[in-house]
Amino acid sequence: MAFLLFSATASFAQTAEENYVPAPENLAARQEFQDNKFGIFLHWGIYSMPAQGEWYMTNANINRDEYAKLASGFYPSRFNAAEWVAAIKASGAKYICITSRHHDGFSMFKTRWSNYNIVDATPFKRDVLKELADECQKQGIKLHFYYSHIDWFRDDYPEGKTGHGTGRPQGHGNWESYYNFMNNQLTELLTNYGPVGAIWFDGAWDQPKDFDWQLPAQYELIHRLQPACLIGNNHHGTPHAGEDIQIFERDLPGENTAGYSAGQGISALPLETCETMNGMWGYKIEDQNYKSAETLIRYIVRAAGKNANLLMNIGPQPNGELPVTAVERLKEVGKWMATYGDTIYGTRGGDVPPQTWGVSTRKGKRLFIHILDLKGTELSFPLATKVVRAEQFHDRAPVPFTQDADNNLHLKLPQATTNPDYIVELILE
């Protein structure tokens, strides 16, 4: 039924999405998304069991039938959606993005389009996405779904650059069948789980550049089912028609230290950078390389200064718990956000572009100068707008300043800067 509905509108969708005019509720959702600034990414699936990250199946060339046996042993006995959501909310994060189906092809939700899902193929038999969706609604936090365009399990996924050692016949692929499967699953995700904040696609880079993913019709389907649902695609390029947010992997917009953002321009859409809290997306048992709370906070601040959200990843354990260190980090970040969140939430990148010493964020007539790295107590930068007042954010002590004829603002800080972020609030005319 879902498929019939879908194909009836597919041809007009092609043109419709090229001339995509976001619905009013979509535009409102974009604003809210930008205001929210900080989300938590969750990579969780049967790949959590071998505990070597979400790419293990293809990295270790595991035959899909052998890999699939993981499902019959997947019983995350300690999974508690209420506890996850509470721990995540405590960090000050305003949304959660969870893997509904990763490249391994296993669906973490009840789907009638494949038995290879958490309800039908595991002894756990619980739709964890549904439990999470209900809990997110209850605790007032948005839920986004990651959805992989790649599938290392199915024959109908056209052979791509990855997933060769999983035992499928060479040259496998039936695009029409796979495309319908995805759209049918997306229809389920967008009808059975309440309001979905975003669909976060990933994997386009698995096929040649000229491969036609038929995204316009897929995007149109999503926007038809939930006009406010934001679409993002981690294709590492500038956004295509129909996308509502732009994604950057492991780098802030305009940077390319990780190598995924070469030539990626910055669009006018809301921006989001995703990064791992330790080194890996999916749970990896020996990866205890957690970033410090200070580093995480400074990353949120730097992202905000670049007008971007930060989506910080955690890989939950196969037993259903979030790793203890991750929960500790969430608490520490939350403590900072509770005091200083006013300089982050609801802001946009400020008038002072990112500098080596820090960044700025702005909300109305309030310009927040986030000093991350400064020797001494004097700071000058160009600022065209007249400053009425300057204060240390943490104690409201006045910060002496002068503004010269060349539009340079000179601050004389009353104290040495403090970690992780020393904030001066400027009230603009």
Q: Of the candidates 212, 214, 258, 264, which has an alpha carbon nearest to the alpha carbon of residue 239?
A: 264
Q: Is 206 in the site for ligand GLC (CB under 6 A)?
A: no
- Return the number of the residue (281 or 345) whose C-beta is nearest ligand GLC: 281
Sign of CA dihedral 240, 246, 250, 253: positive
Distance of closest approach, residue 250 Cβ to ligand GLC, in angstroms: 7
| Euclidean distance between CA atoms 49 and 93, whole angstroms | 27
Q: Is 274 in the site for ligand GLC (CB under 6 A)?
A: yes
Residue with tokens 């969780």: 44
- Return the number of the residue (100 or 226) whose C-beta is nearest ligand GLC: 100
Question: Using N-to-C axis directions, what is the helix angle for 293-305 and 324-340, rounded to 10°?
Answer: 50
285: its two tokens: 């048992």
Q: What is the DSSP letter of 393?
A: T
Distance of closest approach, residue 207 Cβ to ligand GLC, in angstroms: 14
Distance of closest approach, residue 115 Cβ to ligand GLC, in angstroms: 24
Helix, strand, coil percentages (3-state) for the chain, rounded to 5, are 30, 20, 45
Residue 361's DSSP bridge partners are: 349, 368
Out of 249, 287, 321, 425, the only residue in the binding site for ligand GLC (CB under 6 A) is: 249
Q: Is 281 in the site for ligand GLC (CB under 6 A)?
A: yes
Dihedral pair phi/psi, residue 199, rounded to 5°: -110, 125
Distance of closest approach, residue 125 Cβ to ligand GLC, in angstroms: 26
Distance of closest approach, residue 180 Cβ to ligand GLC, in angstroms: 24
Q: Of the candidates 304, 207, 184, which has an alpha carbon nearest to the alpha carbon of residue 252?
A: 304
| Euclidean distance between CA atoms 365 and 111, whole angstroms | 49
Residue 381's DSSP bridge partners are: 409
Distance of closest approach, residue 411 Cβ to ligand GLC, in angstroms: 38
| Euclidean distance between CA atoms 358 and 215, whole angstroms | 38
Out of 54, 151, 244, 425, the only residue in the binding site for ligand GLC (CB under 6 A) is: 54
Q: Is 401 in the site for ligand GLC (CB under 6 A)?
A: no
- Return the number of the residue (201 or 422) whose C-beta is nearest ligand GLC: 201
Q: Is 106 in the site for ligand GLC (CB under 6 A)?
A: no
Q: Of the candidates 116, 172, 425, 421, which has an alpha carbon nearest to the alpha carbon of residue 297?
A: 421
- Return the number of the residue (289 or 415) whose C-beta is nearest ligand GLC: 289
- Return the number of the residue (234 or 246) whose C-beta is nearest ligand GLC: 234
Residue by residue, DSSP assigns 95-139 as EEEEEEE-TT--BSS--TT-S-BHHHHSTT---HHHHHHHHHHHH
Q: Are strands 401-403 and 198-202 parallel, antiparallel or unpaired?
A: unpaired
Q: Is 287 in the site for ligand GLC (CB under 6 A)?
A: no
Dihedral pair phi/psi, residue 164, rounded to 5°: -80, -30
Size of interface with ligand GLC, in residues (CB under 6 A): 8
**C-alpha dist (Å) from residue 245 to 126, 232, 235, 308:** 31, 5, 12, 10
229: its two tokens: 């649902």
291: its two tokens: 């970033």
Q: Is 321 in the site for ligand GLC (CB under 6 A)?
A: no
Distance of closest approach, residue 359 Cβ to ligand GLC, in angstroms: 23
- Return the number of the residue (129 or 399) whose C-beta is nearest ligand GLC: 129
Out of 17, 135, 188, 202, the only residue in the binding site for ligand GLC (CB under 6 A) is: 202
Kindly identify the residues of this chain, within the stretch 114-153, that bind ligand GLC according to CB under 6 A.
none
Q: Are strands 366-371 and 422-428 parallel, antiparallel or unpaired?
A: antiparallel
Kindly identify the residues of this chain, within the stretch 15-44, that bind ligand GLC according to CB under 6 A.
43
Q: Is 275 in the site for ligand GLC (CB under 6 A)?
A: no
Q: Is 234 in the site for ligand GLC (CB under 6 A)?
A: yes
Distance of closest approach, residue 155 Cβ to ligand GLC, in angstroms: 21
- Return the number of the residue (125 or 161) whose C-beta is nearest ligand GLC: 161
Distance of closest approach, residue 225 Cβ to ligand GLC, in angstroms: 24
Binding site for ligand GLC (CB under 6 A): 43, 54-55, 202, 234, 249, 274, 281
